[in-house]
Amino acid sequence: MADTDIHGAAAAQPDWNLDKVVQELRQSREVTHKIRHQGSIRELPSKTALVGILHGLCAVLFPTHYGRDKLTDESIDYYVGDTLNTTLGLLTEQIRRGLVFGEDMQGAGPRELLERARAISREFASQLPALRALLVSDLHAAYQGDPAASSISEILLCYPGTVAVIYYRIAHALFRLGARLVARLVSDIAHSDTGIDIHPGAQIGGSFFIDHGTGVVIGETAIIGQRVRLYQAVTLGARRFPADESGALIKGIPRHPIVEDDVVIYAGATILGRITIGHGSTIGGNVWITQDVPPGSNVSQASLRNSDPCRGAQ
């Protein structure tokens, strides 16, 4: 009898006092602590939808690796065309939702937002062949830069740095076209999937390789040249954040490093501020650099121990 009472009590619906909690949450959400964009926007881009869109775009760019495994010369173009058509339609909807948050679209009506989203998707699609060519240069850089790589296919299927770079190049194209919130969400998906955080506003040249990659951070205004290689836990960050007279941070100013062509930056290096790492330089692991490094330098902890970062470069 006691067991029956215990089971009966456990099965009974608990009293959570939901009416009170729900009403207080409504008061916070709608009145006291309201943060909704323009006071009324509820419709947001969907990260879940964007994950599917990214899978579709990767399949379009590399159909035999990220699409279907039994494509033939006869069927591959049909698959790419159908996948791209479907994916662009889904992307357009997410761009439309994100455009509401852009300063240049404040007050735009539904039709104007939709037409702008369609125009961005159309232009984005036209850039895919050039984007793929850039990605192929990145793949060759990875294959040539890592003695453990046995094939380009291995790099596409197994390297998190490659996934992060693919997502970055998609996000950067969308960012430049004005779909900035969607681009930021794509970069956040890449960060979640790979541990690599690249702002879509960063400018990165071809033949770019991130080896291992976990913990890499590349800020919004960073500029990276051709044939640059980074290892895990490298930070290209800002040194300080200038504020205006009211104390608010000034947004959009150049505050991240410039890394010129043919630079290698080893694991754990932290490079801060709008400084330049000269072409052909090698930056050793775990160094902290806040001043320009001349071209052809070799910077290590030993060279920094008794000198400033610029003078220590050899």
Give yes or no: residues 236 and 148 share one domain: no
Q: What is the pLDDT of residues 29-52, one digit of tens each?
A: 888 888 776 666 678 999 999 999
CATH number at residue 271: 2.160.10.10
pLDDT digits (tens, 9 = 90+) for 187-243: 999 999 999 999 999 999 999 999 999 999 999 999 999 999 999 999 999 998 888
Place of tokens 């791209």: 84
Q: What is the CATH number of the domain that holds 124?
A: 1.10.3130.10
Statement to judge: residues 174 and 226 lie in one domain = no
Within this chain, do residues 226 and 141 fall inside the same structural domain, yes or no?
no
DSSP line for 167-206: HHHHHHHHHHHT-HHHHHHHHHHHHHHHS-EE-TT-EE-S
Interval 109-165: pLDDT, tens: 889 999 999 999 999 999 999 999 999 999 999 999 999 999 999 999 999 999 999
How far is residue 125 from each of residues 61, 88, 118, 227, 296, measured CA to CA in Å? 11, 8, 11, 26, 39
Q: Which residues in 216-236 are b (16+ Cβ under 10 Å) and which e?
A: bbbbbbbbbbbbbbbbbbbbb
Looking at the fold, whether 118 and 80 belong to one and the same domain comes out as yes
Q: Is residue 293 part of a domain?
A: yes
65 and 114 in a single domain? The answer is yes
Find tokens 């602590």 and name the residue. 33
Q: Domain limits at 118?
A: 44-195
Q: How many residues in the chain?
A: 314
- In a domain, residue 84? The reply is yes
Query: Strands 235-237 and 217-218: what pairing?
Result: parallel
Q: How far is CA 114 from CA 91, 96, 126, 231, in A?
A: 11, 6, 19, 41
Q: Partners of 236 in the beta sheet?
A: 218, 271
Q: How many domains does the chain have?
A: 2
Q: Is 226 among the domain residues?
A: yes
Provide CB contacts within 8 A for 25, sequence distance 6+: none
User: pTM of the predicted model, to two decimals?
Assistant: 0.88
Assess if residue 153 is contained within a domain: yes
97, 170: one domain? yes
CA end-to-end span of the chain: 85
User: Are residues 160 and 78 part of one domain?
Assistant: yes
- 187 and 273 in a single domain? The answer is no
Phi, psi of 182 (to 5 degrees): -60, -40
